[in-house]
Structure 1
Amino acid sequence: MELVRSSGRTVTEVARELGVSSEDLRGWVKQARVDRGSQTSANCPGRGRRH
């Protein structure tokens, strides 16, 4: 996921290089963004990870 964020390349380009589907990589990138947001707001009421 970091490679997508830092490289300036598209998800499709990175996925092709890694040998994974672009849809899978997109989902992982999206989840990483959610996780980063959850980590910074975990102490706020009503926010954080869903179970």
Structure 2
Amino acid sequence: MWPINKYPHGLRLFSLHVGRYIKLADATDETLEFDLGKCRIAFDFSRIWPK
């Protein structure tokens, strides 16, 4: 599970690791790849927050 904090022009993505949330990225126009176990997905955040 990746908790997400949404902001007007982007987001902060966190991962739960040993009982604590670790910030993975601040995303606005990056493409991030998520490992969902049996599959991986590349998510292009620039399509959500166009410039």
TM bracket (short chain): under 0.3
TM-score by length of 2: 0.28
TM-score by length of 1: 0.28
